[in-house]
Structure 1
Amino acid sequence: ADSWHNARLLRCAQAPAGDAFCFDTPPPPEFSISKLNWWRNVAIYRNDYVNETTRFVSQWGLVGRPAVNDAWTKWKTSNQTAPALRSNTRGRVAFAMNAVVCQAGPEDPCRDLRPNCTAEDYCALGFATEIFVNFANNSRLDPHGFAPFGEVEEGMDVVDDLARTLGHRYGEVQELCPPEPPAETYCVYRDGQRAGVNATKFQAEGNPYIRRDFREMFRLRIRSSRVHVEHRGYEETRATL
């Protein structure tokens, strides 16, 4: 079943808009992947949660097969199309984005990317398939274009428990953790080594890397999902997990 599912995701990433096998009309990319159950069985690989006063986000959305992830990069959507009309408060869900840090001078990596930059010190390049849930008031993310599209309606205590468990077990991804543990951190260190997922290796190797090195990693199970689009331009995705 998983091989067929991945084959379908790969075909739909390469299909022209309107392919009846994938979708009837050209939908926004985040909705097409929702209809295709993209997030079925994906690893919840980033968990920044220490306790009720020190917590940030959990993140998921890499499908676990590198060829499929790579194929969907063409659907990346500029954050210019998704202003943060709602704030990143506790329980709200938003798309993660690739980004670069801006710098003054002719070598500024943001110069050719404007007007899609949402802040002078940070340029978001667009979102694709990765999602995070906020565990605290993270409104500082709003100016950078992280636009919430949904909210946990019930069971936030379960999400807290999940993130707390994984946060203590693996914590933050390795790329965001210094080699030596700072005084306060979401990073987990074990035997002097960073215990979190190496996101670069995960993207390159897929699920075999997770199964080999993170045997207690949780995966997202989706029982049902549907897309609901309201008038006035606000869209949201609802799922039963």
Structure 2
Amino acid sequence: MPIMTCRLSWMRRGLLALAFVLPAAAAAACGEAPDRGSAEPRDPLLRPAQFTETAPPRFAVRFETTAGEFVVEVRREWAPIGADRFYNLVQAGYYDDTRIYRVVPGFMAQFGIHGDPFIHRAWARALLRDDPVVESNSRGRVTFAKAGPNSRTAEVFISTVENARLDADGFAPFGEVVEGMEVVDAFHAGYGDGPPRGEGPYAAMAHARGNEYLDEEYPELTRIIRAVVVDAEG
């Protein structure tokens, strides 16, 4: 039906453009990172290049959130480059204390903006090559967000419906929710999509100000308390 086609079209455009706002927008809003002083230890997450460990063939990640817990099983064979990045991000604690900032009912839930804008900016520049699409974006599948070819960084989304139409756009799932999909369905969705389609968080502001902005303007967002690897196949 034409209405459905139109709706899916803007959703796909949102994934390719608005949702994963250009790293340059955040950089422009922040300016150059100031010198934090030699006496203050640098957070290892400010150096994405050091996180290059190869992921196990299969591993599980348990997410503890303010809505409950869910488990993602990652299969490296589905998307090796994406699986390696996700494994390193989880092991480094990147997703701890982050917000599930974009929840679009009938579409997906997205997270991965770090609470510290300096760390987010560092990873926004650590672009990944695309993986071939091996598995479809069906309900429960977990996929990296991207703004175009070879532009994946740290933001991911969970499909909450069948999103096979995203396959042709190069969104390659690397895992799926195997426990707690009811928790994913319960993520706070009251703010809607981001501007101009809804009243939800403006991604560029979230990139520039991190949790300060999200907590101040959108206090009801579901929060990720921590994410840990709980099972890994050797």
Instruction: Verify same fold: TM over 0.5.
Output: yes
Q: Give the match for residue 137 of structure 2.
A: 88
Distance in 2, Cα, partners of 1:58 & 1:5: 34
Q: Secondary structure at the match of 1:38?
A: coil
- Figure out how many residues of one structure are paired with residues of the other and give that number: 167
Provide the alpha-carbon RMSD of the alignment: 2.7
The offset of 1:64, in angstroms, is: 1.6
Q: Report Cα offsets for 1:1-33 as digits up to 9, x if no partner.
A: xxx9982311x3264868xxxxxxxx9433321
Tell me if structure 2 keeps the 8 A contact 1:30–1:128.
no
Paired AA for residue 66 in structure 1: P
Identity %: 31
The offset of 1:217, in angstroms, is: 1.4
Q: Give the match for residue 66 of structure 1.
A: 117
The correspondence for 2:48, drawn from 9, 13, 36, is 13
Q: Give the match for residue 208 of structure 1.
A: 212
The higher relative CO (CA closer than 8 Å, separation ≥ 6) is in 2
Tell me if structure 2 keeps the 8 A contact 1:29–1:76.
no
Q: Report Cα offsets for 1:145-179 as digits up to 9, x if no partner.
A: 111111111211121122xxx22x1111115x1xx
The correspondence for 1:130, drawn from 155, 179, 182, is 155
Q: Give the match for residue 117 of structure 1.
A: none
Larger radius of gyration: 1
Q: Secondary structure at the match of 2:186?
A: helix
Q: Report Cα offsets for 1:192-234 as digits up to 9, x if no partner.
A: xxx210001111111111121111111112353257468xxxx
The offset of 1:94, in angstroms, is: 0.6
Q: Give the match for residue 238 of structure 1.
A: none
TM-score (norm 2): 0.64
Paired AA for residue 137 in structure 1: E
Q: Secondary structure at the match of 1:47?
A: strand
Segments of structure 2 that go 5 or more residues without pairing to the other structure are: 1-39, 54-82
Q: Report matched runs for 1:38-187 at 5 Å.
A: 38-49=94-105, 55-79=106-130, 82-99=131-148, 124-162=149-187, 166-167=188-189, 169-175=190-196, 177=197, 187=198
Q: Give the match for residue 56 of structure 2.
A: none
- Label 1:6 to 1:225 Cα distance change in 2 as closer, same or farther (>3 A): farther
Distance in 2, Cα, partners of 1:5 & 1:41: 20
Q: Give the match for residue 13 of structure 2.
A: none
- Label 1:126 to 1:220 Cα distance change in 2 as closer, same or farther (>3 A): same
Tell me if structure 2 keeps the 8 A contact 1:29–1:75.
no
TM-score (norm 1): 0.62
Segments of structure 1 that go 5 or more residues without pairing to the other structure are: 19-26, 50-54, 100-123, 178-186, 188-194, 231-241
